[in-house]
């Protein structure tokens, strides 16, 4: 069945079409991210075979191993959706594939950011002193974290808040134009208002006041004593 997205997406597409589009967009993003991590991973793999690698200190070598491991993890996470897609091809598992691939891509980007920050710290510590190297690496880490995670999450939060406010305003506007019964909330038995009572004057008959009920539920009669002397 063709329906619009629940969050207000104007595109009319089925669930299968939405999954195909999301997967295509995700794979395109993985191509861009995978290219950068491949270059970094290749650089780290070739670094021990250079002549000046023996000049690294013990801490720098540990930093190198940690950065190399992060690059390998990021490569596995970013290539993982491709392997997942190939193994479940034509198995009608497109929606779980998109969800798992999205998680792996997010974790892969986090690993790429850490690997790049570690590589910058390694090179800066080899070229300069420890203090400036730490400052440069921290700045690079904050730059990646801000651009890749903090800024998009903040924009998403603002968009969701604006969408919620807009939908509530539209609902109030529609409620103002609709009948009152269509917008009133249901009230429980304990909070229901008693029906209004309509009073019907009834004269005295044969010396005795006689009350009678109204035509509608909740209507009662009130008798008025008339003075015979008057």
Mean pLDDT of 162-171: 67
pLDDT at 54 over 70: yes
Mean pLDDT, residues 16-30: 88
The phi, psi pair for 201, rounded to 5°, reads -75, 135
Instruction: Report pTM.
Output: 0.66
Copy the structure tokens of residue 122: 């390694």
- For residue range 84-93, what is the model confidence (pLDDT) as tens digits? 988 988 888 8
Residue 34, judged by CB atoms within 10 A of its CB (0-12, 13-18, 19+), counts as: buried
Q: Which residue has the higher pLDDT, 135 or 159?
A: 135
- Report helix angle 130-145 to 94-127, nearest 10: 160
Answer yes or no: is pLDDT of 2 > 50: no
pLDDT(154) > 90? yes
Kind and range of the H or E run holding 208: strand 208-209
pLDDT over threshold 80, residue 144: yes
3-state secondary structure of 224: strand
What is d(CA 16, CA 21) in angstroms, rounded to the nearest whole number? 9
What's the rounded Cα separation, in Å, for the pair 72 and 66?
10
Residue 183 has pLDDT above 60, yes or no: no
Q: pLDDT tens digit string along 192-222?
A: 555 554 544 555 555 555 555 444 444 444 4
Instruction: Give the pLDDT of residue 203.
Output: 54
CA distance linking residue 210 with residue 203, whole number of Å: 8
Q: Which residues pair with 202 in a beta bridge?
A: 223
Residue 60's alpha-carbon distances to 99, 124, 228, in angstroms, are: 38, 11, 117
Query: How confident is the model over 56-66, as pLDDT tens digits?
Result: 999 999 999 99
State how far the Cα of 2 lies from the Cα of 11, in Å rounded to an integer.
Answer: 10
Mean residue pLDDT of the chain comes to 78
| 86 and 102 Cβ atoms separated by less than 8 Å | no
What is the predicted pLDDT for the residue at 194?
A: 54
The per-residue pLDDT for range 103-139, each reduced to its tens digit, is 999 999 999 999 999 999 999 999 998 899 999 999 9
- Reply yes or no on whether the pLDDT at 145 is more than 90: yes
Residue that the structure tokens 């490569």 belong to: 75
| DSSP single-letter state for residue 103 | H
Residue with tokens 């807009």: 166
Sheet-wide strand order for 208-209: 208-209, 199-205, 220-224
């Amino acid at each position: 069945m063709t329906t619009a997205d629940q969050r207000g997406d104007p595109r009319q597409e089925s669930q299968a079409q939405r999954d195909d589009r999301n997967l295509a967009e995700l794979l395109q993003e993985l191509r861009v991210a995978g290219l950068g991590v491949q270059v970094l991973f290749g650089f780290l793999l070739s670094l021990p075979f250079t002549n000046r690698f023996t000049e690294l200190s013990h801490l720098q070598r540990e930093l190198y191993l940690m950065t190399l491991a992060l690059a390998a993890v990021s490569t596995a996470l970013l290539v993982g959706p491709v392997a997942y897609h190939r193994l479940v091809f034509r198995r009608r598992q497109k929606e779980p594939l998109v969800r798992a691939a999205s998680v792996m891509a997010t974790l892969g980007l986090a690993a790429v950011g850490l690997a790049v920050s570690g590589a910058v710290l390694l090179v800066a510590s080899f070229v300069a002193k420890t203090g400036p190297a730490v400052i440069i690496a921290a700045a690079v880490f904050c730059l990646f974290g801000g651009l890749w995670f903090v800024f998009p999450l903040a924009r998403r939060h603002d968009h969701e808040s604006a969408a919620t406010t807009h939908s509530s305003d539209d609902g109030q506007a529609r409620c103002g134009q609709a009948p009152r019964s269509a917008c009133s909330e249901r009230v429980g038995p304990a909070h229901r208002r008693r029906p209004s009572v309509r009073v019907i004057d009834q004269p005295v008959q044969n010396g005795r006041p006689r009350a009678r009920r109204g035509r509608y539920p909740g209507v009662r009669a009130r008798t008025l004593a008339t003075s015979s002397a008057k």
